[in-house]
Amino acid sequence: MYELTNVTKKYDQGKRSVTALNKVTLSIPDGQMVAIQGPTGGGKSTLLQMLGALDRPSTGTVQLGASDLSKLGQGPLGEIRARQIGFVFQGFNLIPTLTAQENVETALAPLGVSAADRTARAAAALASVGLGERGSHLPAELSGGQQQRVAIARALVKEPAVLLADEPTGNLDEQTRDEIMELLEGLWRDRGLTLIVVTHDSAVAKRAQRRLLIKQGVVKEVA
């Protein structure tokens, strides 16, 4: 469960200070599917980084389970990312020189999983997203939708509690978008994940249990 209390994040841009998040207080229960919408520059990505333990707030606290992410150092934050949080990016962010199988395995490397176990788990993850036969392909040999499936497999192979998706369908056509969203929804239901999706696409947002709108760093619930 996430508990954000009075979270403010400011960035210095030269002599100017920009407030990306302004006193955000928010609670997200375990197993919920949440969509975050908002205009560009409104603070969506910053909020996702706070939730993903990629950054710390300037003030306020971000609680994930028993851990206060705002007080942890880089090492423990990395450990939490490695074990509890999966990321899916708009641009897929696969490593171009590694095969689909090897890309999925990168998520298991920090966990000290044995090579044999790593191979087996990565292959199973690829199979669960419908790419069991494409493990040996390089990202450049896959379509956009397939690359995003590989990225989802990489996010889920470590069996995280939370899946954070930043515009996961932003680079895909409508049909592929729907396929990916169906896949994410299916995984969310089957695994009891907390799924948080940042999106511009209202069609995607409407699939979520809960919708949040973030504008000028302030979060509001959407009815």
Report the interface residues with another protein, using CB under 8 A: 45, 49, 52, 54-55, 74-75, 78-79, 81-83, 86-87, 89-91, 93, 95-98, 102, 105-107, 109-111, 115, 118, 154-155, 158, 166
**Tokens in use for 158?**
């470590």
Q: Which is nearer to another protein, 72 or 98 (CB)?
A: 98
SS3 state at 9? strand
Q: How far is the CB of 91 from another protein (least distance, A)?
A: 7
Q: Which is nearer to another protein, 105 or 201 (CB)?
A: 105
Q: Which is nearer to another protein, 91 or 132 (CB)?
A: 91
Q: How far is the CB of 173 from another protein (least distance, A)?
A: 21
Residue 181's Cβ-side half-sphere holds a number of Cα atoms within 13 Å equal to 25
Q: Which is nearer to another protein, 29 or 110 (CB)?
A: 110
Q: Which is nearer to another protein, 84 or 146 (CB)?
A: 84
Q: Alpha carbon 65 to chain centroid distance?
A: 17
- Maximum separation of any 2 CA atoms in the chain, in Å: 53
Q: How far is the CB of 107 from another protein (least distance, A)?
A: 5
Q: Alpha carbon 58 to chain centroid distance?
A: 22
Q: Report d(CA 1, CA 140) in Å as an integer.
A: 37
Q: Report d(CA 93, CA 106) in Å as an integer.
A: 12
DSSP string, 96-142: TTS-HHHHHHTTTGGGT--HHHHHHHHHHHHHHTT-TT-TT--GGGS
